[in-house]
A and B are shown apart, each in its own frame.
Chain A
Amino acid sequence: MKTELKEMLASLNSPAEWVGLRHVAEDSRSFQVRDERVEAVNQGISEGVMVEVLVDGQFHYSATADVSKDGIARAHNRAMALAEFSKGWSLAKFSLDQRPKAVGSYASKTSQTLDQLGMQELIALLVDSTKAMKTSDEIVSRVAYAQNAVTNMTYVSSNGSEFDQTFSHNFSHLSATAQRGSDVQTRTNGMDVSQSGYEFFDREHMTAESVRIGEQVLELLDAENCPEDTRDLLLAPSQLYLQIHESIGHPLELDRILGDERNYAGWSFIGLEDFGKLQYGSDLLNVTFDPTVSGELASYMFDDTGVKAEKEYLIKDGKLLRGLGSLESQSRANVPGVACARSTSWNRPALDRMANINIEAGTSSMSDMISSVEKGVFMDTNKSWSIDDYRNKFQFGCEYAKLIENGEITKTVKNPNYRGVCTPFWSNLKMVGNGDNFEVWGSFFCGKAEPNQVIRVGHATPHCLFSDIEVFGGAR
């Protein structure tokens, strides 16, 4: 594809200061089984090119699924027409500095294809997973889902960039819902994701997870509501990943801080003046932008504008150092950023996005953390999330919780929720788990931008303990 794109680029004879062509092709497969019966076997293929032109210091975009020479020429002309009509109204002035030359190649590490695993075996695995969840007649629904998406991106530009990246992203979801009278409880494996091949759908792992889910959902039916008070909160990575996402990742996006997202996703409680100064959390908090972690969902070599991806500390010893901003946002904000200009596919422009945003491991074992708690609660697996448009006041719900009393895990409680405000919450971080309780999570579904885009992100973290958090249960 690279050779064809270079030929098309040359044939455009564009009057623009710079032209980029980003070709994206994706083949996505998903499979769903409910109650041991096949519910969906889907495949989606997509291919297109985003033509990007720099005219009068503004980038203009035109997307087409017609990847022929004529199709790309038409898209180029439409981008040039936009440049004509928006002349003089640009928000910012850009140059080739925001589109560095990039040459290279990247591919996810994979060891098994769908053909090698076998579609029949994958379906059988999902059927068996729902079977393993059937631990009682009170379980009214059992779902097993598997998805793989292989995405190939090729990028060429008039200043000599030429690179390609191939990603293989996976997602599995297991869910059991149980009902007793008016009470309904659902237990899942959360959002289990990775960058790998079909070896991700491992029979032993998925069966064990299904058995656990089937047992714990019944535990929840027997459980009392989570208490309503203020106490220590031990969060599992299956919840903490979304806490990182919503209350560290989004507020640090420079385009939000600059106001571009005010009308949709929102603004940020962070100001540009906070970088290098603000104590975001306790000195145990170390957060990195790291698209180099093998197997984590948002690892890559270059972002969608050709910037080389490297690990950077966003927060070190609790202090805010760096934002999630592309070269475009960095030039407008004059604060340091990262290689994070990403787009959902060929039909949308790249903008400031999370990639892998991780909490670095600390030194505490699980037993260290639990034994330190006199009155607390351990919450596991995200169920509900909501945060204000400044990314400050949040509320999360989890599927499953255990009380911690006098240094020991005791009884299960249901409908656990907690709420708080961003920097006070992270300032109450009092213990950070070590590598033994560190887990890699992520999401296929981070939404942002106008026009809207959804993107895949990774979040890795150990278990973490917070003090003095407001917790509460379900409706009375």
Chain B
Amino acid sequence: MTSQEWVKNKKQAFAELSENLFSALKSDEQVTLSVSGEDSLYCRFSQSKVRQPSRVDQVALGMSFIVNNCELKKSMVLSGDVDKDTRKLMSLVESARKEAAILPETPFIVEPKNLASSDEDVLLAESNGERLLPEMVKPLQSVDAAGLLADGIVFRGNQNSLGQKHWFSNESFYVDYSLYSSKQKAVKACYADTKWDQAAFEANVSDATNQLSHMRLPTQEVKRGNYKTYLAPAAVNELLGLLNWGGWSAQAFKTGRSSLKELAEGNRKFSQKMNITEDFSLGLSPKFNSFGEVADDKLSVIDQGELKTLLVSSKTAEEYSDLEGNRASAGEGLRSAVMGTGSLDRADILSALGTGLYVSNLHYLNYSDLPKARVTGMTRFACFWVENGEIKGPIKDLRFDETVYNIFGDKLVDLTSFAETQPVIGTYEQRAIGGSRVPGILVDEMAYTL
């Protein structure tokens, strides 16, 4: 079966299931259905050999059922047999009706609307398929590599009882991997695209192998203290990802759980060089959310260091009369973040850093003081001590503990003139979609504590 046929079948099954349900609704009932699915090939590998290859074919359906000012949310996994799935869905509807009859009202309901529909498929004429297994491992045989190959189709759909429909599907792959020296020093790499290109993957592996040569320099002992730091795009992306834990959320701000409280209150600012936009032109994420609302192509969040807006879902806007919704997702996080670039060219990074730390990746970030936006985390993979613009050698992992206001604000020296696209590589429950595009940043001083 081709990708087009597979997606067509899923789309048709979703349409039939929706129609079966909508035609059985009573006049006072409203429903929004969301669907997410994948047909994925996963291959975990270690020591450049295959470990636990798997195929996953799954579709999850979510339902918002509204009656008498009461909203209940039900979800199920679809078997693909529309008759069987309809019976199961109708049993969930029956239980929702019974529960709505006895439960208190649910305030701030976002009722479905029929504003606009969309349909977008980005599929391959010929899928990559299982042949990727040997093609991926062959170029890795001269190095020690560990990572994950994920390949296949992912889709998202949304349909409501008023007739609005959205669909987004995408066929792509990534090899998210790391290479290890004999002394267990590592570099991180990722090869992501739609159609597999063996020569491009071999070039990607070759680049990463060359980077690994820097790791053979003597390991540098760096004591705890404050150091000038270059954060590469992947490291900046980790920081941006942490801010999605409530940082931009209007709901979190109103309930005291936002890490960007002081920014939102106007008491703190980022550097004037800092610009952050929700920009769906990246094409990695659908513009519609679980309410079925379509976001603007671009939404400025940080403009020259100042917060332009928090992300406000329609549910939050229902609750707080002083907020205007901007069709954010229910979780009010950035789905397609783009951070503006600066003037630091790639060739000038080491000389601009002078003496300090070159940090390629960060790991396991968390807030050590949430309302003050103080963050802790670890350096990871290829991180170096640099002296007078020259790499002296890799470091042992260091823990940092620093506020976002210092990193993106008072201590920010410059951003790089280039940016890198970072696809989301999460696979909890299903293969995630989305991504961001961020530059590297040079920070005058960061606190390293352990």
B-contacting residues of A (Cβ < 8 Å)? Answer: 34, 37-48, 58-68, 71, 75, 78-79, 81-82, 84-86, 89-92, 119-120, 123, 127, 140-141, 177-179, 182-184, 186, 258-264, 266-267, 347-349, 351, 384-390, 393, 395, 397, 415, 417, 419-421, 447, 449-454, 474-475
Asked if B156 CB lies within 8 Å of chain A CBs, one says no
Within 8 Å CB of B380, what residues of A? 388-389
| B95 & A263 in contact (Cβ 8 Å cutoff) | no
Residue of B nearest to A451 (CB): B427
Binding stretch for chain A, among B70-78, B278-286, B348-356:
B70-78
Chain B interface residue count, CB cutoff 8 Å, equals: 90
Within 8 Å CB of B431, what residues of A? 451
| B102 & A62 in contact (Cβ 8 Å cutoff) | no
- A84 nearest CB across to chain B (Å): 7
Within 8 Å CB of B55, what residues of A? 61-63, 75, 78-79, 82
Q: Which of B41, B59, B399 gathers most chain A CB within 10 Å?
A: B399
Task: Select one of B77, B106, B426 contacting A65, CB under 8 A.
Answer: B77
Q: In whole angstroms, how far apart are the Cα atoms of A377 and B188 in the complex?
A: 40
Task: Select one of A81, A177, A421 contacting B256, CB under 8 A.
Answer: A177
Interface SS, B side: strand
| B58 & A140 in contact (Cβ 8 Å cutoff) | no
Q: In whole angstroms, how far apart are the Cα atoms of A204 and B96 in the complex?
A: 29
Q: In whole angstroms, how far apart are the Cα atoms of A81 and B134 in the complex?
A: 13
Within 8 Å CB of A89, what residues of B? 49-50, 133-134, 137
Asked if B369 CB lies within 8 Å of chain A CBs, one says yes
Residue of B nearest to A34 (CB): B255
Q: Supply 22 A–B pairs (Cβ within 8 Å), ascending by A.
A: A34-B255, A42-B73, A42-B75, A58-B50, A61-B52, A62-B56, A66-B57, A68-B81, A85-B130, A89-B49, A90-B49, A141-B257, A182-B261, A184-B256, A184-B370, A262-B180, A386-B376, A387-B378, A389-B364, A397-B367, A419-B450, A451-B150
Asked if B51 CB lies within 8 Å of chain A CBs, one says yes
- A143 nearest CB across to chain B (Å): 8
Within 8 Å CB of B449, what residues of A? 395, 419
Task: Select one of B105, B372, B397 contacting A389, CB under 8 A.
Answer: B397
Residue of B nearest to A45 (CB): B76
Q: In whole angstroms, how far apart are the Cα atoms of A141 and B150 in the complex?
A: 41
Q: Which of B75-128 contact A (CB under 8 A)?
A: 75-81, 88, 92, 95, 99, 102-107
Q: Which of B306-333 contact A (CB under 8 A)?
A: none
Residue of A nearest to B56 (CB): A63
Residue of B nearest to A30 (CB): B73
Asked if B19 CB lies within 8 Å of chain A CBs, one says no
- 4 extra interchain contacts, Cβ-Cβ under 8 A, other than A264-B148, A450-B427? A41-B106, A68-B79, A79-B55, A90-B51
Within 8 Å CB of B399, what residues of A? 386, 388, 393, 395, 419
- B257 nearest CB across to chain A (Å): 6
| B147 & A450 in contact (Cβ 8 Å cutoff) | yes
Task: Select one of A178, A183, A349 contacting B54, CB under 8 A.
Answer: A349
| B75 & A45 in contact (Cβ 8 Å cutoff) | yes
| A385 & B366 in contact (Cβ 8 Å cutoff) | yes
- A442 nearest CB across to chain B (Å): 19
Q: In whole angstroms, how far apart are the Cα atoms of A71 and B57 in the complex?
A: 11
- List the 6 closest pairs (A to B, CB-CB), nearest first: A451-B427, A141-B255, A450-B148, A475-B372, A61-B54, A91-B49
Task: Select one of A64, A68, A123 contacting B104, CB under 8 A.
Answer: A123
Q: In whole angstroms, how far apart are the Cα atoms of A48 and B430 in the complex?
A: 14
Asked if B368 CB lies within 8 Å of chain A CBs, one says yes
- A14 nearest CB across to chain B (Å): 16
Report if A65-B46 is in contact (Cβ < 8 Å); known contacts: A89-B137, A452-B428: no
| B73 & A415 in contact (Cβ 8 Å cutoff) | no
Q: In whole angstroms, how far apart are the Cα atoms of A127 and B92 in the complex?
A: 25
| B178 & A262 in contact (Cβ 8 Å cutoff) | yes
Within 8 Å CB of B410, what residues of A? none
| B370 & A41 in contact (Cβ 8 Å cutoff) | no
Asked if B177 CB lies within 8 Å of chain A CBs, one says yes
Task: Select one of B52, B71, B184 contacting A349, CB under 8 A.
Answer: B52
Chain B 355-371 per-residue mask, 1 if CB under 8 angstroms from chain A, else 0: 00000000111111111
- A81 nearest CB across to chain B (Å): 6
Within 8 Å CB of B99, what residues of A? 41, 119
Residue of B nearest to A89 (CB): B50
| B368 & A84 in contact (Cβ 8 Å cutoff) | no
Q: In whole angstroms, how far apart are the Cα atoms of A92 and B106 in the complex?
A: 54
| A386 & B377 in contact (Cβ 8 Å cutoff) | yes
Asked if B445 CB lies within 8 Å of chain A CBs, one says no
Task: Select one of A48, A450, A475 contacting B369, CB under 8 A.
Answer: A475
Asked if B14 CB lies within 8 Å of chain A CBs, one says no
Asked if B131 CB lies within 8 Å of chain A CBs, one says yes
| A66 & B81 in contact (Cβ 8 Å cutoff) | yes
Within 8 Å CB of A387, what residues of B? 364, 378
Q: In whole angstroms, how far apart are the Cα atoms of A60 and B60 in the complex?
A: 24
- B165 nearest CB across to chain A (Å): 23
| A43 & B58 in contact (Cβ 8 Å cutoff) | no
- B382 nearest CB across to chain A (Å): 13
- A348 nearest CB across to chain B (Å): 8
Within 8 Å CB of B150, what residues of A? 451
| A417 & B103 in contact (Cβ 8 Å cutoff) | no
Residue of A nearest to B137 (CB): A89
Q: In whole angstroms, how far apart are the Cα atoms of A44 and B374 in the complex?
A: 36
- B84 nearest CB across to chain A (Å): 9
| B368 & A184 in contact (Cβ 8 Å cutoff) | no
- A260 nearest CB across to chain B (Å): 4
Within 8 Å CB of B364, what residues of A? 386-389
